[in-house]
């Protein structure tokens, strides 16, 4: 942690003002489009003519009645929940293996875990699409979306858990073993409770990543399943659906406050939420 | 719990306790099967497919080894143009994000009061969680014909860029900006104030301190952030469909060849372009020591 510089040595006043203005403008540009979407959900004009001449609640009513949007939310929640569970299990295992053991190929493994998000989404998407259809003989659908999402979600859990393990050290686990606790008991009563908030942060990030993903999803979803992002994308260009899409967008903006709120509650989890 | 299962569990626990290598294999086995065999296998299969051809009548994959897909890519004016355009967009987006993120991060880390700093971190983080599609959609509305930008632009006498490559660059730069601010901010937080004070006590002016002390310190963080902004832009094909008008990027070529044209070998060949670019980029980034910042 650092504090503002002492008066003896300081930035020139002009420089401070420039930085303050740039930061202020950047925040305006960051929030203006999101605010516009919120305002437009009440804009009576179907084409969102600006500035709005009349306000209405019709779009919110229409959106609440939209069966397509509801169904898509359900699919997205199910996919994200399952992918998060897979990611939690696999990411924790990988983190424990890499943090607690030294073995040949350890660096390669950590690179491999980052690879699914370091490579552009189209590459992961087309590679999995090809593998599912030709190698595994799977039909694209719900299961293939879950597998694809879990693949790129592992890294978020892994990053959070390995950071926690590094800070935890080994003393408490060794003490537990010395006092006669079995491997499983030590995990259940010592290791797991200490990892809990890291698992929550990693899981939350994995869920959000999966819930929002579209590029890999377009390659691994069948014709029937529509996740919420795919539903939005498919309805984006239909003029009569635009107001409903806009309301869904507002709901998603409001929902995005939840993870920030949770991370504020979780002491020390913020740095894990910051990096992907 | 029955005594029998209790007994097996104790037995298993004892075996695990005595054999650390067995513990390791059980821990690393499942993630390795998933990522090392399935995922890496899928990437390998993709590359092999790019060396195969397609029967132009039946549309099925023909398993004959050749470099035709890559030759078509290299020789076709259209694809070369799309490839350069995509790399150009990714580079421009990265440059814009650095130019905006650096002053913002510097203000957050070294000038704002601790309380203000906390508020700013949250203000920058929150939109990171807002949906990608919602943000791209928001810019589609911003840039629409009678939207806000044309409205405000009208007052200042400038035209809205409309839907096209400029809109793509704006939207992508907007989408990935937090990925650049956060690593630079983290890098600046690690820079001790005493070093800045020393520089200024020794008579360096603000500009001199920024150039000679701050910029070298945050360079690895900028590289780390650029990996995200560059890679995410390279592989994007949704944004360009939402705000890009009729323009195409590499991702569109890949998607269209998987879907409509059903030419998987060619799509695979196109997809290797961003992979090669990113591998070169990551290799270069490793030399700067930036990968520890990712």
Nearest C-alpha of chain B: how many angstroms from A230?
9
Nearest C-alpha of chain A: how many angstroms from B233?
8
A232-270 in b/e form (b: 16+ CB < 10 A) is: bbebbeeeebbbbbbbbbbbbbeebeebbeebeebeebb
Touching B: A residues 78-107, CB under 8 Å: 89-91, 93-94, 96-98, 101, 103
Confirm or reject contact between A24 and chain B (CB < 8 A). no
Q: Answer whether A131 sits within 8 Å of B294, measured CB to CB.
A: no
The number of CA neighbours under 13 Å toward the Cβ of A159 is 27
Burial class (CB within 10 angstroms; exposed 0-12, middle 13-18, buried 19+) of B122: middle
ipTM of the complex: 0.81
pLDDT truncated to tens, each residue of chain B (294 aa)? 455 566 677 777 777 777 888 888 888 889 988 888 889 999 998 888 888 877 767 767 777 788 888 888 888 889 999 999 999 999 999 999 999 999 999 999 888 888 888 889 888 878 877 889 999 999 998 888 777 777 777 777 777 778 899 999 999 999 999 889 988 998 898 888 888 888 888 878 888 888 888 888 888 889 988 988 998 999 899 999 999 988 899 999 998 888 766 788 889 999 999 988 988 888 887 777 666 555
Residue with tokens 């020393």: B198
> B182 contacts in A (CB within 8 Å)?
274-275
Q: What is the dihedral of CA B179, B181, B184, B185, to 10 degrees?
A: -120
pLDDT at B293: 52
> Which pTM does this prediction carry?
0.84
> B205 contacts in A (CB within 8 Å)?
12
Q: Of A256, A261, A222, which is closest to residue A143 (Cα–Cα)?
A: A222
Element (H, E) at A273: helix A270-274
Confirm or reject contact between A11 and chain B (CB < 8 A). yes
Closest residue, chain A, to B14 (C-alpha): A182
- CA–CA separation, A227 vs A209, rounded Å? 13
Residue with tokens 């910051």: A274
CB contact at 8 A, B271 and A126: yes
Contacts of B291 (CB under 8 A, 6+ apart): B224, B282, B285
- CA–CA separation, B72 vs B67, rounded Å? 9
- pLDDT tens profile A106-128: 878 888 888 888 888 899 999 99
> A128 contacts in B (CB within 8 Å)?
39, 42
Closest residue, chain B, to A212 (C-alpha): B131
DSSP assignment, residue B205? -
- CA–CA separation, B275 vs B140, rounded Å? 29
Q: Which of A127, A219, A276 sits opposite B43 (nearest CB)?
A: A127
Q: Answer whether B129 sits within 8 Å of A31, measured CB to CB.
A: no
Q: Of B36, B133, B97, which is closest to residue A93 (Cα–Cα)?
A: B36
Confirm or reject contact between A9 and chain B (CB < 8 A). yes
Q: Which residue has the higher pLDDT, A208 or B91?
A: B91
Q: Answer whether A130 sits within 8 Å of B135, measured CB to CB.
A: no
Q: Answer whether B111 sits within 8 Å of A219, measured CB to CB.
A: no
Q: Which of B36, B41, B255 sits opposite A131 (nearest CB)?
A: B41
Q: Of A163, A234, A275, which is closest to residue B241 (Cα–Cα)?
A: A234
Element (H, E) at B62: strand B61-62
Nearest C-alpha of chain A: how many angstroms from B206?
6
Helix, strand, or coil here: A55? strand
Nearest C-alpha of chain B: how many angstroms from A220?
11
> A260 contacts in B (CB within 8 Å)?
122, 125-126, 129
> Is it the case that residue A102 has pLDDT exceeding 90?
no
- CA–CA separation, A198 vs A266, rounded Å? 9
Contacts of B174 (CB under 8 A, 6+ apart): A29, A30, A33, B135, B139
Interface test with chain A among B133, B172, B252, by most A beta carbons within 10 Å: B133
- pLDDT tens profile A30-44: 999 999 888 888 887
Confirm or reject contact between A20 and chain B (CB < 8 A). yes
> Is it the case that residue A276 has pLDDT exceeding 60?
no
Q: Which of A94, A98, A214 sits opposite B238 (nearest CB)?
A: A214
- Segment B286-289 long-range contacts (CB within 8 Å, at least 24 positions apart): B288/B219, B288/B220, B288/B223, B289/B220
The average confidence (pLDDT) of chain B is 85
> And the tokens for A157?
């859990």
CB contact at 8 A, B98 and B179: no
Q: How far apart are the first and last CA of chain B?
A: 46
> Is it the case that residue A98 has pLDDT exceeding 70?
yes
- CA–CA separation, A4 vs A11, rounded Å? 10
- CA–CA separation, A83 vs A207, rounded Å? 8
pLDDT at A79: 95
Q: Answer whether A215 sits within 8 Å of B28, measured CB to CB.
A: no
Q: Answer whether A122 sits within 8 Å of B255, measured CB to CB.
A: yes
Q: Which of B13, B133, B206 sits opposite A182 (nearest CB)?
A: B13
Interface test with chain B among A23, A88, A107, A188, by most B beta carbons within 10 Å: A23
Q: Which of A33, A232, A253 sits opposite B142 (nearest CB)?
A: A33
Q: Answer whether A135 sits within 8 Å of B16, measured CB to CB.
A: no
Contacts of B127 (CB under 8 A, 6+ apart): A30, A31, A34, A256, B135, B178
Percent of chain A scored above 90 by pLDDT? 31
- Percentages helix, strand, coil for chain A (3-state, rounded to 5) are 75, 0, 25
> Is it the case that residue A269 has pLDDT exceeding 50?
no
Q: Of B140, B228, B145, B116, which is closest to residue A20 (Cα–Cα)?
A: B116
Residue with tokens 């051809």: B53
- CA–CA separation, B249 vs B270, rounded Å? 11
Q: Answer whether B141 sits within 8 Å of A33, measured CB to CB.
A: yes
- Stretch A72-97: mean pLDDT: 94
**Chain A with chain B: Cβ pairs closer than 8 A:** 296
Residue with tokens 């719990």: B1
Q: Answer whether B242 sits within 8 Å of A236, measured CB to CB.
A: yes
């Amino acid at each position: 942690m650092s504090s503002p510089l002492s008066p003896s040595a300081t930035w020139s006043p002009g420089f401070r003002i420039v930085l303050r203005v740039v930061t202020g403008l950047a925040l305006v540009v960051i929030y203006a489009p999101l605010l516009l979407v919120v305002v437009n959900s009440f804009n009576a004009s179907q084409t969102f003519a600006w500035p709005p001449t009349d306000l209405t609640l019709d779009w919110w009513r229409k959106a609440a009645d939209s069966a397509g949007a509801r169904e898509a939310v359900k699919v997205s929640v199910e996919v994200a929940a399952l992918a998060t569970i897979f990611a939690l299990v696999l990411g924790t295992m990988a983190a424990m293996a890499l943090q607690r053991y030294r073995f040949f190929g350890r660096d390669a493994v950590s690179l491999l875990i980052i690879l699914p998000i370091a490579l552009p989404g189209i590459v992961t998407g087309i590679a999995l699409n090809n593998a599912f259809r030709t190698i595994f003989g799977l039909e694209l659908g719900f299961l293939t979306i879950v597998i694809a999402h879990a693949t790129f979600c592992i890294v978020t859990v892994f990053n959070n858990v390995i950071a926690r393990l590094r800070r935890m050290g080994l003393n408490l686990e060794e003490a537990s073993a010395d006092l006669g606790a079995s491997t499983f008991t030590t995990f259940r009563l010592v290791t797991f409770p200490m990892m809990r908030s890291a698992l929550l942060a990693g899981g939350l990030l994995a869920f959000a990543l999966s819930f929002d993903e579209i590029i890999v999803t377009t390659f691994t979803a069948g014709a029937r399943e529509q996740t919420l992002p795919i539903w939005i994308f498919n309805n984006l260009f239909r003029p009569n659906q635009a107001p409903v899409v806009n309301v869904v967008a507002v709901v998603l903006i409001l929902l995005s406050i939840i993870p920030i709120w949770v991370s504020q509650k979780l002491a020390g989890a913020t740095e894990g939420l910051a990096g992907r | 719990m029955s005594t029998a299962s209790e007994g097996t569990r104790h037995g298993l626990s004892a075996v695990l306790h005595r054999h650390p290598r067995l513990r390791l294999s059980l821990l690393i086995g499942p993630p390795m099967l998933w990522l090392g065999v399935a995922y890496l296998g899928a990437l390998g299969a993709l590359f092999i497919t790019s060396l195969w051809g397609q029967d132009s009548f039946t549309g099925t994959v023909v398993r004959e080894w050749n470099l035709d897909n890559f030759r078509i890519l290299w020789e076709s004016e259209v694809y070369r143009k799309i490839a350069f355009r995509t790399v150009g967009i990714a580079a421009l987006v990265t440059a814009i994000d650095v130019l905006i993120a650096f002053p913002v991060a510097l203000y957050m880390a070294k000038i704002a009061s601790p309380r203000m700093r906390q508020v700013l971190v949250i203000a920058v983080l929150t939109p990171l969680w807002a949906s990608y599609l919602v943000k791209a959609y928001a810019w589609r509305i911003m840039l629409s014909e009678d939207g806000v930008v044309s409205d405000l632009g009208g007052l200042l006498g400038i035209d809205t860029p409309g839907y096209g490559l400029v809109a793509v660059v704006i939207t992508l730069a907007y989408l990935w900006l937090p990925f650049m601010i956060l690593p630079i901010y983290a890098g600046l937080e690690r820079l001790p104030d005493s070093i800045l004070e020393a520089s200024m006590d020794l008579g360096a002016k603000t500009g001199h301190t920024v150039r000679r002390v701050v910029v070298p310190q945050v360079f690895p963080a900028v590289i780390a952030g650029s990996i995200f902004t560059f890679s995410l832009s390279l592989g994007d094909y949704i944004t360009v469909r939402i705000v890009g008008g009729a323009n195409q990027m590499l991702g569109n070529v890949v998607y269209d060849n998987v879907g409509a044209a059903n030419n998987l070998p060619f799509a695979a060949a196109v997809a290797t372009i961003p992979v090669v670019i990113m591998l070169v980029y990551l290799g270069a980034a490793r030399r700067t020591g930036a990968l520890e910042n990712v």
